[in-house]
Amino acid sequence: NAGVTQTPKFQVLKTGQSMTLQCAQDMNHEYMSWYRQDPGMGLRLIHYSVGAGITDQGEVPNGYNVSRSTTEDFPLRLLSAAPSQTSVYFCASSYTGSRGGDGYTFGSGTRLTVV
């Protein structure tokens, strides 16, 4: 089925551990992004990419790293997990990003708890 696939769906980390959240899309979308959603805070942009080999920071990039080696994949790496990174993470993609009038497709989310 076409869409955005995120793995894992749930993850518990210990403080200081690192991990990678995976995001893949099969719609040949140029634009991909990562958001985090905290209770009462809404969705906040972490990092985004406008195409393979191009990434940039969003509103809350600290503690996260991204790369975009292929059009399909956009992994998010937590370098050294902290309790403040406990959140729900969403990956989104679109054909043209904010430069176009099309909608974004979101994944189902990764629920991360850092203890």
Partner 1 sequence: DAKTTQPPSMDCAEGRAANLPCNHSTISGNEYVYWYRQIHSQGPQYIIHGLKNNETNEMASLIITEDRKSSTLILPHATLRDTAVYYCIVRALNSNSGYALNFGKGTSLLVTP
CA 9, 70, 55 angle in degrees (round to 5)? 85
Contact between 101 and partner 1 per CB under 8 A: yes
Please, which residue, 44 or 77, has the CB nearer to partner 1? 44
Stretch of 12-20, 22-30, 65-73, 95-103 contacting partner 1, by CB under 8 A: 95-103
> What span, in angstroms and rounded, lies between the C-alpha atoms of 41 and 32?
21
* Residue 49 · residue 29 · CB < 8 Å: no
Contact between 108 and partner 1 per CB under 8 A: yes
Please, which residue, 31 or 74, has the CB nearer to partner 1? 31
> What span, in angstroms and rounded, lies between the C-alpha atoms of 100 and 12?
37
> What span, in angstroms and rounded, lies between the C-alpha atoms of 69 and 71?
7
Indicate the pairing of strand 64-66 with strand 76-78: antiparallel
Size of the chain in residues: 115
Among 7, 11, 58, 82, binds partner 1 (CB under 8 A): 58
Stretch of 18-26, 55-63, 64-72, 73-81 contacting partner 1, by CB under 8 A: 55-63
Among 16, 18, 51, 59, binds partner 1 (CB under 8 A): 59
Which positions lie near partner 1, rule CB under 8 A? 4, 31, 33, 42-45, 48, 50, 56, 58-59, 90, 92, 97-101, 103-109
